[in-house]
Amino acid sequence: MPLPPAFLDSGRPDVPDLVVPRGVTPFHLPGQKVRGRLVRLGPLAEALLTRHAQHPAVTRLAGEALALVAGLAAALKFRGSFSLQIKGDGPVGMLLADCTDTGALRGYARADSDRLAALLAATPSPSAAALVGSGYLALTADQGPDTERYQGIVAIEGDSLADMALHYFATSEQLRCQIRLVAAPTASGWRAGALVLEKVAGQGGIDPALDAAAQEEGWRTATLLAATVTDAELLDDALPPERLLFRLFHATGVAADRPRALAYGCRCSRQRLAGILEGFGSDDLDHMAVAGDIVMTCEFCNLDFRFPRADVRGRAPGEAAGRG
């Protein structure tokens, strides 16, 4: 049976149809100006991280980025997406992860194999800072094509990805946070998790009557308790989120809110990519073609999409760019 025209083919490619129903568990500490999110990617981490054959150091960094952006996106109050982008001059030149308000999650890390090999020869377990080098970190909230995106950009500072994110919130948002990230291979495959804690600013929050000293003491206690979480606890599929939260915060009390699902979220399709190709001129398309076909690869899911050159009209001479 012939394939439908690319501009009509919006079907999902052959990627895992996987949903983790309790991927993010928001919570708050009753009577305190403290809230947070517990992120457990479960088998979704294995499905997302193994789309590319990467060194474990790069896969670990990508897994931490996925867990981080899943936790941050859970705070969205609108329909759209939240993304993390790091661009540096290190062996991992690009790190990208994004998550929609419905929990569709995707990400990838682009590494230079030669430079990575040289780094690993000198440092078998490189830090995130060594992997990405100097550059910038950007967090973007996107409410769709009809709304201006909000983006904050800071220079990369810190040894770990969690440190880099904390630097962003301290300098760009003036938000006090504590972030714990972990990604690692387990007996069940790759797993990733995060614990994100936030101090509610100003007079908002659970109890506006708390004075400054009480707020500060509540925050200090919460961060001390959160710091006791172990990597094994964050990665354990068999440990329910509510049980872990009680284990951490039973001394102060903790209330778990409604959990949010996470899903395999690559949004590529022949229709979307065909729209991109149609923005190129005929000469450009001719140069892209190899043996009569243009091949485009989705960097998120690592799938190739093949377009016969004869089927792609492209932009006519003199026509303005940006169609599709």
Examine the domain organization and report whether 297 and 258 are in the same domain. Answer: no
What pTM was estimated for this model as a whole?
0.83
Examine the domain organization and report whether 217 and 300 are in the same domain. Answer: no
Examine the domain organization and report whether 146 and 104 are in the same domain. Answer: yes
Segment 232-284, tens digit of pLDDT: 999 999 999 999 999 999 999 999 999 999 998 776 667 777 777 877 888 88
User: Contact 106/73 with Cβ under 8 angstroms?
Assistant: no
- Asked whether residue 256 is domain-assigned, the answer is yes
Segment 182-220, tens digit of pLDDT: 999 999 999 999 999 999 876 544 455 567 888 899 999
DSSP 21-81: EEEEEEEE-TTSSEEEEEEE-THHHHHHHTTS---HHHHHHHHHHHHHHHHHHTT--SSSE
Examine the domain organization and report whether 213 and 291 are in the same domain. Answer: no
Examine the domain organization and report whether 168 and 192 are in the same domain. Answer: yes
Examine the domain organization and report whether 160 and 280 are in the same domain. Answer: no
CATH number at residue 140: 3.55.30.10
Examine the domain organization and report whether 213 and 299 are in the same domain. Answer: no
The structure tokens listed for 17 are 């149809």
Examine the domain organization and report whether 215 and 279 are in the same domain. Answer: no
Structural domain span for residue 65: 23-228+243-264
Examine the domain organization and report whether 285 and 203 are in the same domain. Answer: no
CATH number at residue 290: 3.90.1280.10
- Asked whether residue 316 is domain-assigned, the answer is no
Examine the domain organization and report whether 253 and 294 are in the same domain. Answer: no
- Asked whether residue 235 is domain-assigned, the answer is no
- The pLDDT profile of the chain, 324 residues, written as one tens digit per residue, is 455 555 445 455 566 778 999 999 999 999 899 999 999 999 999 999 998 889 999 999 999 999 999 999 888 777 788 899 999 999 999 999 999 988 999 999 999 999 999 999 999 999 999 999 999 999 998 876 667 778 899 999 999 999 999 999 999 878 899 999 999 999 999 999 999 999 987 654 445 556 788 889 999 999 999 999 999 999 999 999 999 999 999 999 999 999 999 998 776 667 777 777 877 888 888 888 888 888 877 777 777 778 888 887 776 655 554 444
Q: Is 279 helix (H, G, I), strand (E, B) or coil?
A: coil
- Asked whether residue 18 is domain-assigned, the answer is no
For the chain, the domain total comes to 2
- Asked whether residue 204 is domain-assigned, the answer is yes
Examine the domain organization and report whether 292 and 146 are in the same domain. Answer: no
Helix axes 161-168, 56-73, angle to 10 degrees: 30
Helix axes 241-249, 212-226, angle to 10 degrees: 120
Examine the domain organization and report whether 251 and 307 are in the same domain. Answer: no
